[in-house]
Amino acid sequence: MRALILNCTLKASPKSSSTEAFAKVLEGQLKAEGCGVEMLRLVDMNIMPGVTSDEGEGDDWPRVHDRIMAADIVVMATPTWMGQASSVCQRALERMDGMLSESDDTGRPAAFGKVGGVIITGNEDGAHHIVGTTCQALIDIGFTIPGHSWAYWHLGPGPGPDYTETDEGHDYADRVARNAARNLAGLAKVLKPETYPVPESGE
């Protein structure tokens, strides 16, 4: 089993990312469930605007796309800004729209058998809104979303410490993240495409 976490922080490396720190809780549990896990910080790449899987010269999305295609589990990890997912997360979802026109050798949609989830951090409300809109986008692309496949940490409206600057709320949020990882891994094992027979032509 392979899992890919797309860290959609606005902070370029090597700046500390609370979204990455929280996503690592999920990552740890995914590894405990037997998954190989890779995390990509998208802001470090040149992700060009567009809705295809390759927008031409200089576009770094094709290598992200390759990793998505190789993964059984894809998790969108995003901070909350003004009650919304980050612009990096939105751009990633727009680029994943290109998968709608792609299929495997058997004609299955590109995201068939892949499981999606969401990790959210922030000091503002809006987490449930982000879960709803991000999961809907992943469903549209073809991902399967298990129950309780998301987790969030925030301290309510207004400014405040980041996830990496306080222990407040960690116990509950981290526990939810670990449970989300268990659900993601459990469903991904069931939905592996090779477990489904390919129907004969005309069936």
pLDDT digits (tens, 9 = 90+) for 150-184: 999 988 777 788 999 999 999 999 999 999 999 99
The stretch 12-20 carries a mean pLDDT of 96
What is the tens place of the pLDDT at every residue in 78-101? 999 988 999 999 999 999 999 999
The angle subtended at Cα 198 by Cα 193 and Cα 203, nearest 5°, is 140
Q: In angstroms, rounded to a whole number, what is the distance separating the alpha carbons of residues 118 and 60? A: 22
Confidence of residue 102 (pLDDT cuts 50, 70, 90): very high
The separation between CA 104 and the C-alpha centre of its own chain, rounded to angstroms, equals 21
**For the chain, what is the largest distance between any 2 Cα atoms, rounded to a whole number of angstroms?**
59
Task: Work out whether strand 73-81 and strand 84-85 pair parallel, antiparallel, or are unpaired.
Answer: antiparallel
Q: Encoding tokens for residue 153?
A: 């940490």
Q: Encoding tokens for residue 35?
A: 């998954």
Q: State the number of CA atoms in the 13 A half-sphere of 140 facing the CB.
A: 12
Q: In angstroms, rounded to a whole number, what is the distance separating the alpha carbons of residues 121 and 144? A: 23
Contact 48, 55 (CB under 8 A): yes
Confidence of residue 122 (pLDDT cuts 50, 70, 90): confident
Distances 172 to 126, 168, 175, 179 between C-alpha atoms, Å: 18, 9, 5, 11
Of the candidates 69, 68, 88, 199, which has an alpha carbon nearest to the alpha carbon of residue 134?
A: 88
Range from 55-59, 140-144, 185-189, 197-201 carrying the lowest mean pLDDT: 197-201
Residue 196 pLDDT > 50, yes or no? Answer: no
Contact 73, 184 (CB under 8 A): yes
Residue 53 pLDDT > 60, yes or no? Answer: yes
